[in-house]
């Protein structure tokens, strides 16, 4: 299994150009089959970017 090209687009949730998307591909003897696609926003779905600062930081 492999991933195709990854493209970035605008995230409708956080309005940042951080929404990555791509396709999951399987290499077959007669070509490439697309199995699914995925989307992932590095801001919305990354715990390193909390929506609110936690109380106990330095």
Residues that bind Zn ion (CB under 5 A): 11, 13-14, 41, 43-44
Rank residues 15 and 54 by Cβ distance to Zn ion and give the closer one. 15
Least distance from C-beta 22 to Zn ion, angstroms? 16
SS3 content of the chain, % helix, strand, coil (to 5): 0, 45, 55
Rank residues 25 and 42 by Cβ distance to Zn ion and give the closer one. 42
* Separation of alpha carbons 16 and 14, rounded Å: 5
Residue whose C-alpha is closest to residue 8's, from 28, 19, 45, 44: 19
Least distance from C-beta 51 to Zn ion, angstroms? 11
Least distance from C-beta 58 to Zn ion, angstroms? 26
């Amino acid at each position: 299994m492999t991933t195709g090209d990854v493209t970035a687009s605008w995230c409708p949730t956080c309005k940042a150009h951080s929404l990555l998307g791509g396709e999951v591909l399987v290499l077959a003897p007669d070509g490439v089959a697309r199995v699914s696609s995925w989307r992932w926003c590095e801001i919305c779905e990354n715990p390193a970017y909390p929506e609110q600062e936690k109380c106990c930081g330095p």
